[in-house]
Structure 1
Amino acid sequence: MPSVAVIGTRGYPSYYGGFETAIRKLAPYLADNGWDVTVYGRPGSTRLDDPDKDGRVTTRITKGLESKSLSTLSYGLSSSFDAARHRPDVALVMNVANGFYLPLLRSRGVPSLVNVDGLEWERAKWGPRARQVFRTGARFTAKWASGLVFDARAIESHWNEHFGVEGRFIPYGGDVPPMMRVPEGLTHRGYVLIVARFVPENSVPEFFQAVPAIAAKYPVVIVGSAGYGGELDATAADLAATNPSVSWLGHVSDDGLLLSLWQHAGVYFHGHSVGGTNPALVQAMAAGAPVLARDTVYNREVLGQNGVFVKADPDSIATSVLQMMSNARALDTASKANLGRAEKHYAWADICGSYEESLRMLAAC
């Protein structure tokens, strides 16, 4: 039985973000295919009593520093040391910040498959020192990883050009849900939705500035938070407190509620600008949400020729949202197009199969 250690997520099962969603899908898939799976995690970030937890997957909690700038590095270090001690056949490593520890794994004969994620050093939320850490981690990853995974073709091209390395394109997937109930207090295609971590590169400030104009005609539902408090959380709270048409739900870990919100939304605004294939965008498409996306190479790659795009400007966002909401037939067309594209290009079964194939090749080396 081949063994794999997963390093760089918050654990299994966890509902924090895209990495965690991918591992919730991949870990049971690997177990089904005869793998001994261990997922490293952080204290308090996993639901060990989750009824959907696969008992064949081992969750191992290690120590680290819980802070915005040090959590990834510290938990990655402790996880990598533990994995090096146990010597699995292969390690699946998420995020180039953990690239610093790949020489340790290699010294113990553990090959590594690294999902490089997006271009973290371009994210506005990081200061100069953190950006340098991510860029250096990327250099370590390019040198020491046994294999690389790129979740977008544009990310793959960047690594080819700037680091001179090849890898495999494996995007994120989306679940096509059954027809779900409309969330309480809302109507089908009658509200505008944003689901995002509250950071500037997700166009959250611009969307918040557009909210009053949108909320004058349609309800607005805001899902997300900064995770550590701050100005954008305060702005969301103020918008909800001063406008009865605005609801701020904070971070939502209930997959059923999120799927229902996407499925019945009139417009889902996706403002992410840095990164590759965004898990929230793919899942929104799979749920059949009509999407208005910030105009980036990554969002165009995912949505394709039928996508609707807008620049990161409050007036442009408000105008585009209102135009889309006023045309029910166009919303229905967009919903069907997005769902069809998700089924064709972003099915979890295909994605998990690609990961399993790559891991098995490295484990056999």
Structure 2
Amino acid sequence: MKIGILGTRGIPNHHGGFEQFTEYFAVYAKEQGHDIYVYNSHLHPYKSNTYKGVNIIHAYDPESKIGTVGQFIYDFNCIRDSRKRNFDIILQLGYTSSSIWGWLLPSKPIIITNMDGLEWKRTKYSKNVRKFLLYAEKLAIKTSNYLISDSTGIQSYIKRKYNKNSEYIAYGASVFIPSEKACFSFEDLETNEYFLLIARMEPENNIEMILEGYLKSHSGYPFCVIGNIESTPFGNYLKKKFAKHKGIRFLGAIYDLETLDNLRFNSRLYFHGHSVGGTNPSLLEAMGSHSLIAAHHNDFNYAILEDDALYFKSADDVSELIKNENKKDRLDLIKRNSDKIKTKFSWEYINNSYLKFFNTCFDEKNK
């Protein structure tokens, strides 16, 4: 099949979850004999026209000049270009800035859209923006031939709200194998003697609740927060609110995966506060890094972790977890989560699931 992938800033990954998936899947599908094209922002540092056999299409992206509105223009440029490519399948990753151009999508290819999370629920957006995002969600469903949900929660929501079926295919991750020769060294942190949180600085990730719970616990272990604290107003608010508490350390953004895996692996307790969206990549990475996970109790997180995590709904819950839990006492939970990564969430399994679904869609159309 000739497959085009839209909706990311491009590969190799220099940004986030969809970009990482695209890099893994595009290379995998190419190795399986398919003709793969990935749209890259012209701002992407990778300038070649191919990457490991995958075709790269560079599209003009004015985001650096005009801000968020530039994403809409970039998606328009990608979709307009796709009309001349004669694709069999177009995979759209997300819909926020592309669905308004859905009427421009070419009629020949099968349009498959990964619906991402419930973007319109994110409290970082204004009321009007959230209304637009709900409208964009409706447009994406209307202009797609097939849908993919990366969590059973999103799948149920789409069925309930729109009476549409969607294929459940989660995100992928790898199991971290620490080097026996490597000695953990990061600032002055000691193995199993710090708490960790990795997230975007947004209200729906419950970072404020978690940090308040940490302070209530009066723990002698430091709490490390990894994320771009300067990137959002809420991040700056958190930094000011907790600045006087020496135990809370804002380490900033860290993108090196090996460093992150080591930090997760050596943490005493890893907190995952995400409450909006589908299968979060950082949660799977924590599972693959053999972390003891304390997660915000909601349907999205429970669908992935099941009974193999500790859960909280309030700052008091967080405080009690910090007071009473030790990673060494919960090795059974850790092992079951890493086993899930090897089976249900391995990149091999996820990539193969996408291709199997594409083949099913292709066969149905050609009947």
After TM superposition, the score normalised by the length of structure 2 is 0.88
Q: Is the 8 Å Cα contact of residues 210 and 315 (structure 1) preserved in structure 2? A: yes
Q: Structure 1 55/257 Cα, relative in aligned 2: closer, same or farther at 3 Å?
A: farther
Deviates most, 215-224 or 38-47: 38-47
Structure 1 position 219, deviation (Å)? 1.9
1:207-266 CA distance string (max 9 Å, x none): 233344567411222111267342423533774x64554432322221111111122211
Aligned residue in 2 for 1:151: 150
Q: Is the 8 Å Cα contact of residues 96 and 138 (structure 1) preserved in structure 2? A: yes
Work out the CA distance in 2 between the residues paired with 1:227 and 1:146.
40
Aligned residue in 2 for 1:105: 105
Work out the CA distance in 2 between the residues paired with 1:17 and 1:304.
25
Which of residues 201, 205, 210 in structure 1 aligns to 2:208?
A: 205
Sequence identity, in percent? Answer: 24
Q: Structure 1 268/47 Cα, relative in aligned 2: closer, same or farther at 3 Å?
A: farther
Q: Are residue 64 (structure 1) and residue 44 (structure 2) matched?
A: no
Aligned residue in 1 for 2:332: 333
Which of residues 304, 311, 319 in structure 1 aligns to 2:306?
A: 304
Q: Is the 8 Å Cα contact of residues 93 and 113 (structure 1) preserved in structure 2? A: yes
Work out the CA distance in 2 between the residues paired with 1:331 and 1:106.
52
Work out the CA distance in 2 between the residues paired with 1:221 and 1:15.
24
Work out the CA distance in 2 between the residues paired with 1:272 and 1:254.
21
Q: Are residue 190 (structure 1) and residue 217 (structure 2) matched?
A: no
Q: Are residue 236 (structure 1) and residue 236 (structure 2) matched?
A: no
Work out the CA distance in 2 between the residues paired with 1:237 and 1:183.
28
- The within-5 A match list for 1:166-315 is 166-180=165-179, 181=182, 182-184=184-186, 185-213=188-216, 216-225=219-228, 228-233=231-236, 235-236=238-239, 239=242, 242-311=244-313, 313-315=314-316
Q: Structure 1 23/215 Cα, relative in aligned 2: closer, same or farther at 3 Å?
A: farther
Question: Quick one: which amino acid aligns to residue 99 of structure 2?
Answer: G
User: 3-state SS of the aligned residue for 2:4?
Assistant: strand
Work out the CA distance in 1 between the residues paired with 2:45 and 2:145.
28
Aligned residue in 2 for 1:360: 359
Q: Is the 8 Å Cα contact of residues 225 and 233 (structure 1) preserved in structure 2? A: no
1:63-91 CA distance string (max 9 Å, x none): 23357753543322221112223232211
Aligned residues: 356
1:120-150 CA distance string (max 9 Å, x none): 1111111122212221122122222111101
Structure 1 position 317, deviation (Å)? 1.6
1:266-290 CA distance string (max 9 Å, x none): 1110000011111111111011111
After TM superposition, the score normalised by the length of structure 1 is 0.89
Structure 1 position 359, deviation (Å)? 2.6
Work out the CA distance in 1 between the residues paired with 2:73 and 2:94.
13
Deviates most, 55-64 or 333-342: 55-64
User: 3-state SS of the aligned residue for 2:171?
Assistant: coil
User: 3-state SS of the aligned residue for 2:158?
Assistant: helix
Q: Structure 1 16/305 Cα, relative in aligned 2: closer, same or farther at 3 Å?
A: same
Aligned residue in 2 for 1:12: 11
- The within-5 A match list for 1:31-110 is 31-47=30-46, 54-66=52-64, 69-97=68-96, 98-107=98-107, 109-110=108-109
Structure 1 position 20, deviation (Å)? 1.7
- Structure 1: state its 5+ residue gaps: none
Q: Structure 1 102/236 Cα, relative in aligned 2: closer, same or farther at 3 Å?
A: same
Q: Is the 8 Å Cα contact of residues 84 and 110 (structure 1) preserved in structure 2? A: no
- Structure 2: state its 5+ residue gaps: none
User: 3-state SS of the aligned residue for 2:278?
Assistant: coil
User: 3-state SS of the aligned residue for 2:13?
Assistant: coil
Aligned residue in 2 for 1:134: 133
